[in-house]
Structure 1
Amino acid sequence: MKLYWGDLHNHCGITYGFGGLENALAAAVEQLDFCAIIGHAMWPDMPERTEELEFLVDFHLKGFAKLRDNWEHVRNTVKMWNVPHHFVTFQGYEIHSSEFGDHHVLSTSDDLPLIHAASPAELVAELAPLPVIAVPHHVGYTPGYRGANWGAFSDQISPAVEVFSKHGCSMSESSAYPYWHTMGPRDSRNTIISAIRKGLRFGFLGSTDHHAGYPGSYGDGRVAVLATEKTREAIWEALLARRTYAITGDKIACSFTVNGAIFGSEVTVTGRRVLALNVRGCDFIERVSVYKNGELWKMADGLHSAQQRMPESHEKGKYKVRVEMGWGDNTSGFLWQGRARIDDGQIVSVETCFRGQNVLAPTPEMQDNPDINNLGNKLLEYSNHTAEWTCMTFKNVSTRHPQTAALIFELEGDPNSRITIEVNGQIFAYSLSELLEGSRSAHLQPYNSEALLFHRAVPEHAYCFQSEWHDDEKERDCDAYHVEIKQVNEQYAWISPVFVHS
């Protein structure tokens, strides 16, 4: 089986989001294998319209009506973009619920009807016998305030739960990426850890919940799926089997097994449990945390072991170099045209880290622009020695909300190998030896201008991790083991549990 990367929860102007549907799908193709464009469809227990809630209620009702009026067009467009083995789409839409928490339904059927229901469970039942699942998302909000309702949770309709998005991380009350949206803070009762401690079983998903039509927008949430091939049927089977894990942005490739059973599995073990983890990341791996039944069980310091061994000047191997573009004061967008060349080495792979403009929810002053995220972000081509791309960046929203773009080059060479970047007519070049010492930055203009950053080069042993642990202690009739990976650049992966029956 192979890892495929996707976003199963992205919004655009088909309801109360922004941006064109075709533009959203075109952006997804550039850096994902699959996606679902989700329209907001209903809120059965929405608060009553008052003067204070006038805008909230009105934009929801207008969005729901817009999706209903255009459902056939939306459904047919999504169907058209599904090309087996090239790019996969799923049909779906969202149901808000104060009582049960928000869910988006997903389906492999292009005949999925848009119907109204009183709850996520009722909606799935009404859509039967079509293949449909309901994915709870931003579950960490207050119970009864559109947070999860674990008492009503059913893994029969929800084999996986979204644990990270633009809303933040819902793994635990102390996880990185807290909730800062107007919907409120995280509540420990509604975290993923709380659900695992209750004995609930589900896989982990990451998706953007981005509201301006940019699936896979870097840093906002993505999902990895282990499937036999890139088709709707194969990826759907993997979702049902919970062979999934959540990532923030970097495509951190993971394999995690217990006695050979892959993440998401249920397995019966009568003796020793052998946990095996293999990770191939995109930056220095800082920390690996293994959890058992929601409690920290083992921790490994990946950064310490990586720093014990840096490459010699003549040593050949693989390295990753992230080249990031952006900064400056341009709020209308700055177009980068770039070309990379490697001398005395070769390019093994290129990973794009492109973002859409940052939108999570509408505000009274915002007007829809179908081209809001028609940015031209594209890896045009790459070979063993060169790569070309275009991308758009914007002034960072704040010092905590970047709007930069980046490419991660995996290179094969030695510290004398040299990477040259030409952007917008200017040329910058550094050897791997220099980049192993630290990052290097450059500006395009004398002051307050866009800038380019060559991040510190990462040798292969530092972005890879492999370990094995043994456990002889049964705590429950069904013990759940899951893993968190943290890189030094604050990019994470949360691997779905393996459920071990005694």
Structure 2
Amino acid sequence: MKLLWGDLHNHCGITYGFGDLENALSVAKEQLDFCAIIGHAMWPDMPERTEGLEFLVDFHLKGFAKLRGNWEHVRETVKTWNVPHEFVTFQGYEIHSSEFGDHHVLTTSDELPLIEAGSPSELVAALAPLPVIAVPHHVSYTPGYRGANWEAFSESISPVVEVYSKHGCSMSDSSAYPCWHTMGPRDSRNTVVSAIRSGRKFGFAGSTDHHAGYPGSYGDGRVAVLATEKTRDAIWEALLARRTYAITGDKIACSFTVNGAIFGSEVKVDGRRELKLDVTGCDFIDKVSVYKNGVLWKVVNAQYAGLQQLPEPQTQGKYKVRVEMGWGDSQTGYVWQGSARLDKGQIVSVETCFRGQSVLAPTPEMRDNPDINLLGNKLIAWSEQTAEWTCTTFKNVSTRHPQTAALIFEIEGDTNSQLSIEVNGQTFTYTIGELLEGSRSAHMLPHSSEAILVHRAVPEHAYCFQGEWHDDEKERDCDAYHVEIRQTNEQYAWITPVFVIS
């Protein structure tokens, strides 16, 4: 099967988001295999327009009306961009709910009508016989406050759940990436591990929930699916089969099985459970955590976590080198024209880590801007020896919220392989041997300027992991095993459970 990358939940100017629809689809195609552009459509139990809630109510109603008025155009545009085996799109829109939590509905049908309903389950029923699923998102918010309602959760209409986005991580109340949005904090009763402990079965997904037309914006959430081919039907089959997992940004390739059954499967096992994990990351793998029924069961801490216990240098083989650009003080955008050349080696792959300007919800001072993320971020070309790209970066929003852009070069070579990076007329050259010793940075101007960072080279044995465990103990009639992968750069993967029935 093929491992494909997507974003099934993001927004733009078709409702109360920002940015052009065509540009959103274009930037999605640059970094992803599939996406769904979601319009905000309804909120059946929205609070009344009382003092202090005027802006909240008004921008929602205006956004809902905007989507209804342009629905035929939106649907036709999404349909046009769906090209099997090249780039796949899905139709969908969102229903808010204080009682049941927010969901976005998805379908393979280009005939999806825009209708209203009182709840996610009622909406799916009303859309029958079209193939439709409803994906819960930001589930860990307070019950009754647009967090999940696990008592009303239905596996039949929600085979996957969004566990990570710009809102934060909903896996547990102690997971990395807490919720800082105005919608509030996480509540342990609504977390993913709480639902798993209660016996519910679903797959994990990540998506950005980006509100400014930049699907797949790096670090905000993406979903991986294991599908037979890059088509709507094949990806849809993978979603229904729960062959999914969530990533924050880096495309961490994972395979996880129990007795040969891949993640998302239900497998009957009467005796020993044989767990196998295979990971190819994009940075130093720092920690691998295996959970059984939502409780930490096995943990592996990398010996080379941190800089004090680095492994012996790898003198030849594969390495990953991240080239990151940004910093500086530009509020309007700094354009980078970059190229790379590798001598005495081969470029095996190039992964882009491009971001859009970050918007999660409108504020009273914001004005519509269709070009907000018309940034020109693109990997123009690459070969075994060269690569060329362009991108735009901005001043970091805060010291904890970067607006940088990066590319990850997978290189086959040795310590003498030499990587030359040219950006905006300046050239910086380093050998793999130098980069194994540590990162190198340079600035474009003498002070407070944009900068480039060539990260420490990561040898293959440090970004790959294989693990095997066995378990002879049955705890429940259906035991759920899932995995969390953490890299040293704080990029994560959360792998959907294998459900073992005995």
TM > 0.5 fold call:
yes
CA contact (8 A) 2:304 2:311 kept: no
Flag as ranges the 4+ runs of structure 1 deviating above 3 A.
303-309
What is the aligned partner in structure 2 of residue 121 from structure 1?
121
Deviation, 1:50, is: 1.2
Deviation, 1:378, is: 0.2
**1:309-458 equivalences in 2 (<5 Å):** 309-311=311-313, 315-458=315-458
Residue 455 of structure 1 aligns with an amino acid whose one-letter code is H
CA contact (8 A) 1:284 1:303 kept: no
Q: Distance in 1 between matches of 2:19 and 2:451?
A: 28
Alignment identity in percent?
A: 82
Deviation, 1:226, is: 0.1
**1:67-82 equivalences in 2 (<5 Å):** 67-82=67-82
Q: TM-score, normalised by structure 1?
A: 0.99
Post-superposition CA distance 1:405-455 (Å, at most 9, x none)? 000000011011110000000001111111111111000000010000011
CA contact (8 A) 1:18 1:213 kept: yes
What is the aligned partner in structure 2 of residue 171 from structure 1?
171
What is the aligned partner in structure 1 of residue 461 from structure 2?
461
Q: Distance in 2 between matches of 1:98 and 1:231?
A: 34
CA contact (8 A) 1:285 1:303 kept: no
Residue 176 of structure 2 aligns with an amino acid whose one-letter code is A
Residue 354 of structure 1 aligns with an amino acid whose one-letter code is F
Deviation, 1:316, is: 1.7
Deviation, 1:303, is: 4.1
**1:2-13 equivalences in 2 (<5 Å):** 2-13=2-13
Q: Distance in 2 between matches of 1:235 and 1:303?
A: 37
What is the aligned partner in structure 2 of residue 195 from structure 1?
195
RMSD: 0.9
Gaps of 5+ in 2: none
Post-superposition CA distance 1:81-118 (Å, at most 9, x none)? 00000000000000000000000000000000000000
Question: Alignment partner of 1:387: what SS?
Answer: strand
Q: Does 1:499 align with 2:499?
A: yes
Pick which of 2-11 and 303-312 moved more.
Answer: 303-312
Deviation, 1:51, is: 2.4
CA contact (8 A) 1:302 1:465 kept: no
What is the aligned partner in structure 2 of residue 50 from structure 1?
50
Residue 171 of structure 2 aligns with an amino acid whose one-letter code is M
Post-superposition CA distance 1:322-378 (Å, at most 9, x none)? 000000000100000000001111100000000000100000000111111010000
What is the aligned partner in structure 1 of residue 95 from structure 2?
95
Gaps of 5+ in 1: none
What is the aligned partner in structure 2 of residue 28 from structure 1?
28
What is the aligned partner in structure 2 of residue 490 from structure 1?
490
**1:245-264 equivalences in 2 (<5 Å):** 245-264=245-264
Question: Alignment partner of 2:189: what SS?
Answer: helix
CA contact (8 A) 1:25 1:215 kept: yes
Post-superposition CA distance 1:3-33 (Å, at most 9, x none)? 0000000100000000000000000000000
Pick which of 409-418 and 231-240 moved more.
Answer: 409-418
What is the aligned partner in structure 1 of residue 479 from structure 2?
479
CA contact (8 A) 2:305 2:488 kept: no
CA contact (8 A) 2:284 2:305 kept: no
Q: Distance in 1 between matches of 2:80 and 2:304?
A: 49
What is the aligned partner in structure 2 of residue 105 from structure 1?
105
**1:269-348 equivalences in 2 (<5 Å):** 269-304=269-304, 307=309, 309-311=311-313, 315-348=315-348
Q: Distance in 2 between matches of 1:405 and 1:310?
A: 30
Q: Distance in 2 between matches of 1:391 and 1:94?
A: 31
Question: Alignment partner of 1:13: what SS?
Answer: coil
Residue 157 of structure 1 aligns with an amino acid whose one-letter code is I
CA contact (8 A) 2:286 2:305 kept: no
Task: Count how many residue pairs are aligned between Structure 1 and Structure 2.
Answer: 500
Residue 301 of structure 2 aligns with an amino acid whose one-letter code is D
Post-superposition CA distance 1:253-280 (Å, at most 9, x none)? 0000000000000000000000000000
CA contact (8 A) 2:2 2:229 kept: yes
Q: Distance in 2 between matches of 1:355 and 1:251?
A: 14
